[in-house]
Amino acid sequence: MKKNYRLRANEDFAKVVKTGKTRKNESFTIHTLQNNLNKPRVGISVSSRLGGAVVRNRIKRQVRAMCDALIDHDSCSLDLVIVVKQQYLANDFWINSDLLKTLIVLIKETTK
């Protein structure tokens, strides 16, 4: 995922979480908010409860790879904050990818 598609500022994270819509499943919570940038921005939050820095960074790399495959960067103008839950560690990459896909499809359907 290119860096200009990432949500990095703490204020942006807080704004999306406070005022955006929320969707959940057992591995992820996604907060969404419309933006005026004509591009999606994705922020990933992984708690220190999930593991040390190496584990958290591996999870973030995996979620970024999932987002690259699932999000159309040309037609979407949303800010997404993806919060990874503890159950993520119990599932493998493909199950987590399917769980994230169902949430993103649900979000796309409700924003049209």
pTM, whole model, 2 decimals?
0.93
| Domains of the chain (ranges, CATH numbers) | 3-105 (3.30.230.10)
Answer yes or no: is pLDDT of 53 > 90. Answer: yes
Which positions ≥6 away from 2 have C-beta within 8 Å? none
| Residue 15 to residue 53: CA distance in whole angstroms | 26
pLDDT tops 90 at residue 11: yes
Amino acid identity of residue 63, one-letter, is V
- Tens-digit pLDDT profile for residues 95-107: 999 999 999 999 9
Q: Are 43 and 9 in contact (CB under 8 A)?
A: no
